[in-house]
Amino acid sequence: MALSMFARDRLSHGLADNAAGKEVADVIDAGSGTLTATTKRVLVNAIANRKAATLFATAVNAGTSINGFTRRHLTNIIGHAAAAEIAAALEA
């Protein structure tokens, strides 16, 4: 499931880094892939919880679903609608 422009935009704004937001969205769209170390650092800084950021990066890399803990932290930075779309894309 391809992410909407809304979800891509919220990722870029929530992470405060356009390149990292695009990379995360592109890997989600591809179904699996590898996030760079730089993007993982941006995730940790934006989410402000190393465990949640690591779980999110692992889920994105593997194309697997995120748990409620991770989704709550993601929702804090990008909003409920975008987090719900990303969670649905990772579950597909």
DSSP letter string, 1-47: -PPPHHHHHHHHHHHT-HHHHHHHHHHHHHSS----HHHHHHHHHHH
- Gap between the Cα atoms of 27 and 11, Å rounded: 13
Give the number of other Cβ atoms within 10 Å of residue 1's Cβ: 13
pLDDT of residue 64: 95
pLDDT of residue 56: 98
Give the CA-trace dihedral at 84, 86, 89, 90, to 10 degrees. -110
What are the residue ranges in the chain where pLDDT is below 70? none
pLDDT of residue 71: 97
pLDDT of residue 92: 82
